Chain A
Amino acid sequence: MAAPLLEVDSVTVDYVTDVADIRAVDRVSLTLQPGEFLGIVGESGCGKSTLLFAIAQLLSPPAEMVSGSVRFGGHDLVQLRDDELRHVRWRDYSVVMQSAMNALNPMKSIGAQFKDTIRAHVKMAPDAIRARSAEVLRLVGIDAVHLESYPHQLSGGMRQRAMIAMALLFTPQLVIMDEPTSALDVVAQRSLMNQIKELQLKLGFAVIFVTHDMSVVGQYSDRVMVMYAGQIAEIGATASVFEQPLHPYTKGLLDAFPSIRGPRRDLTGIPGSPPDLARPPTGCRFHPRCPEAIPECAGVEPAVSMVDGRAVRCILVGEPSRERGGHDG
């Protein structure tokens, strides 16, 4: 197996407030191979976006990464100084955010924002800059004339695609995406996802894709990571997770989504709501809502264990005795 592109080890993120510190991400570890598409799913508030920003080194106060390492390209990003990190940004990994309307500077034209980005990293003649900008726009199917346009002049779908184009300016090895399709209607969503997948296969970059939409993850990702209450619930190859989910939460998520083929069945939701992270449940965080819970679940916090190449955090499936969260092979 080739060397992993990204190794996230035991990352923990706290929100530091006057009253108490809230642990939004608890000892999450994962690895990513070059060119791999990893989907991260979970309910709102499970910490998936926080994890994403932690990996990208984009946390802002009051969020703070209190421990863990993010090894990328031979360096631990956490240990890098600001100016060293700056060189890595965008060239080796880039970020696509949820709402392009908010993520693009409303006062600068698309072209100007591309130019800013390019000039921050390389010296290039204006013509070359323009050529490259037009090239990435073409990749996502936008006419180069829109380099002069301002964000509010583009449609929602176009804006998202422009953001993706911007992320590809330096053809990075990794693109981190935070729910880029949530703000779009279903048709635009599909079109955008197809485009992303196509680009990924063509240019060969890896993707970490955060979403709450199981169907997107099921269709486009190679591996999937399920998060609950700031912790990993399950990680594994998408096909096998979908076919045979091991963690009760994953089962619940899959049961809540209809399949277009296959027999009609009743949809079941997961009763209750995600826990207050200021006061998480004792033992397994999911046990109050888990249909398979046994008395031990409230007492013992399960560690992540490996089952058939899958990482699962559940005492019903793996052994509870391991101390640290492991990562899948």
Chain B
Amino acid sequence: MAVPAIATEPGLLGGTDAARGSQALRRFTQAIVRNRKATAGVIILLILGFVAAFPGLIAHDDPQAAIYDQSIGPSAQHLLGTTQLGQDVFAQLIWGTRLTLIVTVVVSAIATLISMVIGVTAAYVGGMTDRALSLITDVFLILPTLPLLIVLASYLPPGTITLIVVLTFTSWAFQARQLRSQGLSLRARDFLVAARVRGEKTSYIILVEMVPTMTSLLVASFLGLAVFVVGFAAGLQFLGLGNSTELTWGTMLYYAEQSGALEAGNAWWALAPGAAVAFMGAGFALVNYAFDEISNPALRPVRRRHGSPAA
């Protein structure tokens, strides 16, 4: 016996675009507030966004100023100790948030965009184009990400742009398959057939008709991707292949590891940025997890009055 269908696509209810939009927004906010995981995740991301935007309000030291005692542990003046060069770790952590967040968001956004264009085009156009694009996607999916990142980053001049480019290049494929699947299921739907019959161009159909209906999947893709991008970006920088002259959590980790911070007494120099990366990853992961639950009711927590197996 099927569970009564629960409408998940706000875009498919009737009404004007504006009405639909505000209704969807309201349902979305309601869902977030009601779901504890989503609330936690959103709070985390808001905190990070705030810190990234206004670092000066929280950390009063100049992160680059190497004027303090070197390699000391946490104390009242230096909440997380200092680096080997005498910089305040806490200040570095706070000021490093901005670039870390920017890189993550930019890469995830561009990669999702590319992913969507390729996935939807493959789904909609079909035929040889589909086979070719799917093959390319599969190849990128199988190629191990970090090794590929390492090779690419080694050849390009070090810097933030390189970081963004190589990360985007290796991660666009992650979500392309899901987007293609949804594209396929949408393709046969009436409103698209109507557009085709009206004689609209393929690009119009893809961009104006299909994409807006897929917003929930796009947001989910963005969030899912962000979880991994945070980790890969940090990993690459940790190895020293990122943008060592800029201040991000990843580069903090690199310098901390290089100076043997864990053994030398100011372990927080290594642990704090690592924890921060985990924190950001967790934020995106929670919102993503909750998003999965909101859009797929089958995954929601099961409330049971009497104990019984799941089947």
Contacts and interface: CB of A to CB of B under 8 A. Distances in A.
Interface in B264-311: 300, 302-306, 308, 310-311
A61 B1 contact: no
Nearest to B301: A18
B1 A49 contact: yes
A84 B302 CA distance: 25
A50 B3 CA distance: 10
Contacts of B310: 60-61
B1 A16 contact: no
A285 to B, nearest CB: 16
A53 B311 CA distance: 12
A22 interface: yes
A61 B34 contact: no
A62 B3 contact: yes
A64 B1 CA distance: 12
Contacts of B300: 18
A62 B34 contact: no
Interface in A20-47: 22, 24, 45
Interface string A99-116: 000000000000000000
Given A60-B310, A60-B311, A16 B305 contact: yes
Residue of B3, B6, B305, B311 with most chain A CB atoms under a 10 A cut-off? B3
A24 B4 CA distance: 10
B305 A15 contact: no
Size category of the binding interface on chain A: 10 to 19
A60 B306 CA distance: 11
Contacts of B34: 18
B4 A16 contact: no
Contacts of A62: 3, 302-303
A15 B311 contact: no
Contact of A50 (B1, B303, B306, B311): B1
B6 to A, nearest CB: 8
Contacts of A15: 3-4
A75 B9 CA distance: 46
A253 interface: no
A59 B308 CA distance: 10
Size category of the binding interface on chain B: 10 to 19
A277 B4 CA distance: 10
B7 to A, nearest CB: 12
A63 B1 contact: yes
Interface string A67-95: 00000000000000000000000000000
A64 B311 contact: no
Interface string B1-45: 101101000000000000000000000000000100000000000
Contacts of A59: 1
Contact of A22 (B4, B304, B308): B4
A277 B6 CA distance: 13
A15 B2 CA distance: 11
Nearest to B5: A45
A61 B4 contact: no
Nearest to A61: B302
A178 B311 CA distance: 18
Interface string B191-211: 000000000000000000000
Residue of A18, A60, A61, A64 with most chain B CB atoms under a 10 A cut-off? A61
Given A18-B300, A60-B311, A53 B1 contact: yes
Interface in A132-183: 178
Interface string A212-234: 00000000000000000000000
A64 to B, nearest CB: 6
Contacts of B311: 60
Nearest to A59: B1
Contacts of A18: 34, 300, 303
Nearest to A14: B305
Contacts of A277: 4
23 contacts: A15-B3, A15-B4, A16-B305, A17-B6, A18-B300, A18-B303, A45-B4, A49-B1, A50-B1, A52-B1, A60-B310, A60-B311, A61-B303, A61-B308, A61-B310, A62-B3, A62-B303, A63-B1, A63-B3, A64-B305, A64-B306, A178-B1, A277-B4
Given A17-B6, A18-B300, A61-B308, 7 more contacts: A52-B1, A53-B1, A61-B303, A62-B3, A62-B302, A63-B1, A277-B4
